Each structure stands twice: as structure tokens, then as C-alpha cells.
Amino acid sequence: MRIFEASWSLACVVVAGFALCGAAQAQAAVTPDPTDVGKNVFKRANCMGCHKWHGNGGGGYGGDALSLRKTELTREQIVETIGCGRPATGMPFFIRGAYDTIKCHDMTRQDLGDQMPPEATGFLRPNEIEAVADYVIARIKGKGEPSYAECISFFSDGSRVCNTYKTPGESAETAGKAQ
């Protein structure tokens, strides 16, 4: 009887071991990248309209958007730039009440006059601004030239936009594996 009990509990541990292992694997497969929240803000707030999906920026309707790949700003400075925009440039402010109820560079709309940056087409909440700043720091700043793998990970599909970044022999499958 004792032997039976011992082997029963051993089987139980093995079963529990498999069960745990299975659960851990399933979780790893569905756990989203924490910076995906910021990536969605980057798309939704149209940062990509001016800075492009890869962040390199360039000319556009907002003027010459600076490269977020080459930026030397710290997280704190990026958060401030998004919230307050940048006076006398096309970089819009994204926080409701900037230069009014929210302090920006210690200046008000009146102080700025025609140097007032444009208002974003939609405001962001402080946590959304932090999320998009974290995304810029983790996945854009200091990343060198944009790659095909980055492009398909940004668009989450084999977007035709990405074909320009393809190197010979590269496919969505091989690029996905390379990540």
C-alpha cells in the first residue's frame, strides 16, 4: 500500500510538471511585447505621418520631422517634446492644456505668440505619451537603418511598403525568424 501511494504521488508530480510546462509555453506564445502599446499610439497619433514608420522622419506636411533614430534626447525630454510640441516648428503638442493649464517651457500661448507649435489632431493622455516615448526608446532610437524585419514587425503583415527594405532572398518568414 505504501509503495502504491509513493508511485501515485510521483505520477502526480510528473503530471503537474507537464501541466506547468504547458502553461508556461502557452503564456510565452501570447505575451505581447510591452512596447506594442506605444507602437499603437505611434500609429494612432500619426507620429508615423511625419516621422514615418521607421522614425527617420524627413520632409512632409509637418515640415522636416527630425530622425527619432538619431535623436539624442532622453526619455524625459522625449515625453516633454510630445506633450509640449516644439515651439516655432511643426512638431505638434499632444497634451490638452499645454501652455495654458499645463506648464511647457515656462511659457504661455501669449508669450509664444506666432511661435506656438500646432495642436495635434488628437490629444494623448499622459500614460499614452509615456508609452509612445518608451516605444521610441526601445525600438527606434539608435537603431541604425530600418530593416525589412523591423518593417514587417511594425505593420504586422507582409505590407507592400516593406518590399523596399527587402534584401535579395529575404521573405516575411526568414525575416520573422531572424528577429
Distance CA 44, CA 49 (A): 10
Cβ closest to ligand HEC, residue 35 vs residue 148: 35
Residues at the interface with ligand HEC (CB under 6 A):
45-47, 49-51, 62-66, 68, 71, 73, 78, 81-82, 86, 89-92, 94, 132, 136
Cβ closest to ligand HEC, residue 155 vs residue 172: 155
Distance CA 125, CA 146 (A): 29
Cβ closest to ligand HEC, residue 35 vs residue 81: 81
Residue with smallest beta-carbon separation from ligand HEC: 62
Distance CA 59, CA 146 (A): 17
* Residue 57 identity (one-letter amino acid): G
Tell me the HSE value of 168 on the side-chain side, using a 13 A CA sphere.
0
Cβ closest to ligand HEC, residue 50 vs residue 116: 50
Sign, CA torsion 38/40/42/48:
positive
Least distance to ligand HEC from the beta carbon of 173, Å?
31
Least distance to ligand HEC from the beta carbon of 136, Å?
6
